[in-house]
Amino acid sequence: MAAIKLARLFPINAGWPVASGLIEGAARWLVKDRMDLTGARWGLDGAEAVLKLRALRSNGDFVEYWRFHVAQERQRVHESRYANEVIPRAA
């Protein structure tokens, strides 16, 4: 038990930031509250995608990310399929 207490003091004595309560609270809010819904079934890929979007939203970066995502999707699906990456207009 004493060794555990000393191990926890080492980062503090070294001047490293210790915010385990904040980290645990954020993990609970970001992960557990979303993933631990009654009846929910999550695969690894789906859970990771939802958590990434949730993190973007909570950080205030979602709008910028979404603009980037839409531009990349347009490039991948449409522009890359036409000469000079220009989509022809409908007649």
pLDDT digits (tens, 9 = 90+) for 2-52: 555 656 666 667 777 666 777 777 777 777 777 887 888 888 898 899 889
pLDDT value for 63: 96
- 67 has a pLDDT exceeding 90: yes
What residue segments make up the domains of the chain, in order of their start?
A: 1-59, 61-91
Q: With contact defined as beta carbons under 8 Å apart, do 69 and 52 qualify?
A: no
- The answer to whether 51 and 31 are in contact (CB under 8 A) is yes
Which residue would you say has higher pLDDT here, 58 or 12?
58
Helix, strand, coil in percent for the chain, rounding step 5: 75, 0, 25
